[in-house]
Structure 1
Amino acid sequence: METLHKKVRLSRSLTLLSFFGLLLLFTLWYLIIHPLETGKPWVIWLVHMLPLAFFIPTMKSGNPRNHAWLCFVLILYFNEAVLAATTRVDTRTFGIIYALLVVVLFTAAMMYARWASQYARLSREQDSNASHV
């Protein structure tokens, strides 16, 4: 049970770190480092931020089910990250960092969803067994 609790804490920490790292990367890239010449870089920034912003309450609450839903959304981000890393030279570094953050976030969120659910189930079973004794 203690090992599972450590896994939950580690995956939660990695999830939070990579989630907010991804938000920071989008902010830096689209608004400061590589803004579009159209004069409205905040529109592209907003398109990238809004789907993830819906998961901020999930990041606060730690709901395992919503972490699993985040993984489905991350598939779209991974596709874009691979394209950014492989299609243009000026976005290669951004794409590689972007892809790494998405992979870490996906893996950590999925493992958190699994381990946190297992931990909650085991805790309920232990509480149930303790009340029957």
Structure 2
Amino acid sequence: MRRLTLISYIPLLLFVAFWQFSTREASLGQLPTYLSVVLWVVPLLLPLHGIIKGKPYTHAWANFILVWYFLHSLTTLYTHPDERVFAAIELLLTSLAFIGATGYARYQGRVLGLGLKKQK
């Protein structure tokens, strides 16, 4: 699961940066390209160190960031027919990263004994 996260999360980061630089329509409204890149790339950079180090807690909370990109790809698939290929690639990479991060956090959390205590 960790490998799945790595082989999908890092390409997602690179792909989002490429998409923001390659198409002007991908940016948010009338924002300059550099600001749009910052708004779309920086959130993916936040958990990158912990994902590379293999920290299960970081894998778990990175999913909250991945949901933003998942929703973005679904919205773009529906609203921008000319960017459907980009949106489909983003959806695939985001889904794989989400599945990998969730699986790794769950497995590694059990191994380390991290979990919610059951109520009596």
Indicate the TM-score class for this superposition, using the shorter chain for normalisation: 0.7 to 0.9
Q: Show the 5 A alignment for 1:57-68.
A: 57-68=49-60
User: 2-side partners of 1:42 and 1:63: how far apart?
Assistant: 31
Identity of aligned residues (%): 29
- In the other structure, the counterpart of 2:23 is 34
Shift of the alpha carbon at 1:39?
8.3
CA RMSD in angstroms comes to 1.8
- In the other structure, the counterpart of 1:89 is 81
Q: Deviation string for 1:31-73 (max 9, x for gaps)?
A: 1x21359683121111011111111111222110111101122
Query: Which aligned segments of 4 or more residues in structure 1 are displaced greater than 4 angstroms?
Result: 36-39
3-state SS of 1:35 partner: coil
- In the other structure, the counterpart of 1:7 is none
Say which of 114, 118, 122 aligns to 2:106.
114
Say which of 37, 45, 53 aligns to 2:37.
45
Say which of 19, 22, 28 aligns to 2:9.
19
- In the other structure, the counterpart of 2:72 is 80
Structure of larger gyration radius: 1
More helix by percentage: 1
User: 2-side partners of 1:20 and 1:42: how far apart?
Assistant: 20
TM-score, normalising length: structure 1: 0.75
User: 2-side partners of 1:29 and 1:54: how far apart?
Assistant: 19
Aligned residue pairs: how many? 110
User: 2-side partners of 1:114 and 1:18: how far apart?
Assistant: 18
User: 2-side partners of 1:115 and 1:39: how far apart?
Assistant: 41
User: 1-side partners of 2:36 and 2:45: how far apart?
Assistant: 14
